[in-house]
């Protein structure tokens, strides 16, 4: 008697069924992950705006003016004197701040640059570029510097948050 070794293997049909099941699962899971990413980015944007705006108001209370547009990052992340001059270390004159540990990036564009204006009538960013942040040094308004195509689920532009 001869003994034949039988080989065990998956059939083509079994492999196709597994591939189809994996495709269905991927179709269910991937849209949910994408939605979470968008919600997370939007929440992060709102949190950053809230924190920065609050610290701009603290700066204003301590200095009797808003941070200067060209010096915004330094005035918010370093020690300052009453006139807004900046120092890396705290001292008797440089006793204010820092208001932010670092300037956060806009979570939509990952850009931390700040476009400024000194136009008191400039209430919102013009919405003509995708950058980091937009700041009005006269009014203290601070927004995401984004085009109008970036909107939340209700159609509200991120650059108006």
What's the pLDDT tens digit per position in 3-12?
Answer: 566 677 888 8
Least confident of 57-66, 116-125, 136-145: 116-125
pLDDT of residue 96: 97
Asked whether residue 5 is assigned to any structural domain, the reply reads no
pLDDT of residue 6: 66
- State yes or no: pLDDT of 2 exceeds 60: no
More confident residue, 53 or 35: 53
Asked whether residue 125 is assigned to any structural domain, the reply reads yes
Side-chain-facing half-sphere of 119: CA atoms under 13 Å: 10
pLDDT tens, residue by residue, 148-158: 999 988 899 99
Asked whether residue 8 is assigned to any structural domain, the reply reads no
pLDDT of residue 34: 65
Asked whether residue 7 is assigned to any structural domain, the reply reads no
Phi, psi of 86 (to 5 degrees): -110, 145
Asked whether residue 61 is assigned to any structural domain, the reply reads yes
Torsion of CA 10, 12, 18, 20, to 10 degrees: 180
> Alpha-carbon distance 27 to 19, whole Å?
12
- State yes or no: pLDDT of 100 exceeds 90: yes
> Alpha-carbon distance 122 to 124, whole Å?
6
Q: Which of the four pLDDT bands, split at 50, 70 and 90, describes residue 127? A: confident
Range of the domain at 153: 13-160
pLDDT of residue 129: 87
pLDDT of residue 51: 97
Number of domains in the chain: 1
* Burial classification of residue 12, based on how many CB atoms lie within 10 Å of its CB (0-12 exposed, 13-18 middle, 19 or more buried): exposed
pLDDT of residue 38: 79
pLDDT of residue 3: 59
Mean pLDDT, the chain, whole residue set: 91
Asked whether residue 52 is assigned to any structural domain, the reply reads yes
Asked whether residue 1 is assigned to any structural domain, the reply reads no
Asked whether residue 2 is assigned to any structural domain, the reply reads no
Q: How many CB atoms lie within 10 A of CB 94?
A: 17
């Amino acid at each position: 008697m001869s003994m034949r070794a039988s080989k065990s293997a998956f059939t083509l049909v079994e492999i196709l069924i597994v591939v189809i099941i994996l495709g269905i699962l991927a179709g269910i899971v991937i849209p949910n992950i994408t939605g979470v990413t968008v919600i997370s980015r939007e929440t992060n944007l709102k949190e950053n705006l809230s924190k920065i705006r609050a610290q701009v108001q603290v700066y204003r209370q301590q200095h009797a003016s808003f941070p200067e547009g060209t010096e915004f990052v330094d005035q918010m992340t370093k020690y300052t004197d009453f006139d807004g001059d900046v120092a890396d270390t705290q001292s008797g004159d440089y006793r204010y701040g820092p208001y932010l540990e670092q300037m956060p990036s806009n979570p939509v564009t990952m850009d931390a640059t700040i476009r400024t204006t000194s136009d008191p009538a400039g209430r919102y960013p013009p919405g003509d570029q995708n950058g980091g942040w937009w700041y009005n040094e006269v009014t203290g308004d601070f927004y995401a510097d984004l085009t109008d195509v970036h909107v939340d689920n209700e159609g509200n532009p991120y650059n108006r948050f």
